[in-house]
Structure 1
Amino acid sequence: MICGYPQSNIEAVIRCDAHRGSPARNVEKSSSGAMQAVQYTQIKGTSADDTLVGTTLQDRILGRDGADAITGGDGGDSIRGGAGNDRITGDGGDDEIFGNGGDDRIYAGAGNDKVSGGAGNDLVVGEAGDDVITLNSGNDSSFGGGGNDIIRGNSGNDSLWGDGGDDQLLGGTGNDSLRGGSGNDRLVGNSGDDVLFGEAGSDELVGGAGADRLDGGADADRIIAGSGDDWLTGGDGDDRVEGGSGSDIVVADAGNDAYVGGSGFDTIDFSGATSGLVADISKSTVTGFGNDTITGFESFVGSAFADQITGSSRAETIAGGAGDDFIRGLKGADLLTGGEGSDTFVYLKKDLASGTFDTITDFSAGDRLDLQDALKSLKFSDVSEVVNLSSTEQGTMVSVMVADQFVDVALLEGVNSFDATNLLADGMLLA
């Protein structure tokens, strides 16, 4: 490598042509001929595939064209890969690295580095230090490494991993995958259908636009869905999970969690619970899988065990899941599914309202209608006097006498073979 000096300037610059001669040396020279420390070197590659190695000084390295291998050295370097598929290592110091064109592999090294991947499908590894990494066009991958890093995606489908430290990962446009790693991280998917994993630490996950999948992981996290039809779970820990404007599915997990459905038709799913639940949607409480609060959900899914589920005055979709469940829709035109097991659908007198009725989708042998409270003030010699079953195109409508007239209570969907006396005799009607 041949190095030339400028004619003057105390801050001497070494200009090196990478294709000529031996590697650069630390040189001292002043305009008067006295020796003085050089503050930085400037190293330029060629259009070929160059190997460029910096010094312990603050190097300025330009790879130019070709698939270059560039190492910055210990100083705070400025490195530009240029066109081509380059491999760049910042090494020590607080470096500024630009991948430019091509599919580059960039390892920032120790220090608090600033890295821009440039065009192409790049791999950027921050390694040690608090790094700021900005990706560009292409489907890029980035690992923050140790330290509190900021990683920004861009256009393309990017994969971002914070690794150690308290990191900020910003997905940008495209369908991105973000992993927080250890530490208390903030992950933002922005637009696109993104997948966000908080992993360890108390993380904040924001889905943004698109149909996103957000998983808080371990510890106490905050999950915010944004717009789109999202899938959300807090993971272990005492989490707060907020749905947003789409029709979201929120999967409950262990811990004392707060779940908010938001706008849209939202589902809270407790099918992963390890024991039976006591859920009162009207009071926003669920126990049995921690002490949880739920608000703003239109659909509720119970556990595989024996649950007690109470709805609200709104119209809801309630699925008991496996197990022998007790389901009370309360007021509102509810869609009820008992699921596997012998389920009991409970109707209290105060729940009956003219003009609305529930639809039970899977009423079958082993299930029961509990009308005891609804009928307790009525005098009758035969149950058919106060309970009427009529066939419809959809199934059997169950009506109960209220104030000297029959009020529709429940439609047994797909059922056409029962009458009140038979139901009572078979133990399927509690009156």
Structure 2
Amino acid sequence: MQKLKIIPLSLTLALAAAAPARAETGQAEWAQRYDADARLTVARSTTPILSEATVAATEAAIERYRQIVDGGGWPMVPNQQLRLGSNSAAVSALRRRLIVSGDIGHETGTSPIFDSYVEAAVRRFQARHGVIETGVVNQQTLNALNVPADTRLRQLETNLVRLRTFSHDLGNRYVTANIPAAQVETVENGQVVTHHIAGVGKIDRQSPVMQTKAYQVNFNPFWTVPASVIRKDLIPKMQADPNYLHDNHIRVYDKEGQELQPEQINWRSLDAMNYKFRQDIGGDFNSLGVVRIDIANPYGVYMHDTPAKGVFGDDFRFVSSGCIRLQNVRDYVAFLLRETPGWDRDAIDRAIASGERIDVKITPAVPVYWVYVTAWGTPDGITQFREDIYQRDGLNAPRLADTPDYTQTGATQQAAAPQAGAHSVRQPLLPRDDQ
């Protein structure tokens, strides 16, 4: 009987790496999954974005990007979807692009095969640019890859001025909402305490840049529907579905405070503009969720919970009319009320569970900064970029949202579209600036 030859695992992998790929499909015959370099991961920073440390890190990032620009920048990546196992010249271009920006080491070479090292580098790049870390080069990732190096340099220089403005005397405890990143962080003693993904203002209903204070928390708040929502959203929804008000727990009142039934209103006219509409308390259907945070400002905006938690899993979170919706809002409220006597986390949970409207004054009021920062460095050498969604950098860079992500489903694209009245008939109305 012939003896079976045992081939070492290392030799097996080497033979596999040398095997031909399917040229007709551009896809390798196997999915390579070697251990990727741990240095390619991007850790969540504990350094506040508004700090002297961030200013210094951004200055260092500017020097690095000046060297990149002086060296000729980086190559463009062909407009082609790439993923683990892809085999094409576009992968070689992708590798060269990632090498220049430091997302992958030059020692990995320019092979045309998309292996796990490239996948890890793509995830790192996506993390630095606020894109969901799929490891797949989709259209949104391609758009970010192909922003020229000199544009990124000018973006850093522009934002350095903004960062310097907010690098001193912010207070021992404060909140920062970075609008382009659609993220909120709480800060105490110079360290980030909590991070919160957020939903912020649409392109045509922008969240304002401001310095203010959070002064009150409303548990289980009512939401009074403003006139513009009645006209633009409520009337069309009732025309499409006469049960809309009932399904969304919205009541109708006349000027004397008497409750009416929806069928008493002529929904084919503007008759509804003469009445007051109020949504009942309830975290799973009320547009404000279970809590609203009042902040002093002339714009009529605030921060709040939302029953539509799915937005926090999207790349595109520019969905509100200026207010900011918060993920993990209970942790955020616990930070705000930490120095308010009698309001620990258990008390917060009990207040929400009661279902009753409870207003709590924040003592002392907590400074809140809504800022617009699209590029910054971190002390660990990572350089972060976000889309200039409101076009305030003055660089005329293409908006990433202009090109649909061809990996999304139609439903996801519709949910991400910044259009008024784009919600399904059964979905709750969303708060707007003018309420």
What band does the TM-score fall into relative to the shorter chain? under 0.3
Q: Name the structure where helix makes up a greater proportion of residues.
A: 2
Question: Which of 1 and 2 has higher RCO (CA within 8 Å, sep 6+)?
Answer: 2
- Structure showing greater radius of gyration is 1
TM score, norm. by length of structure 2: 0.24
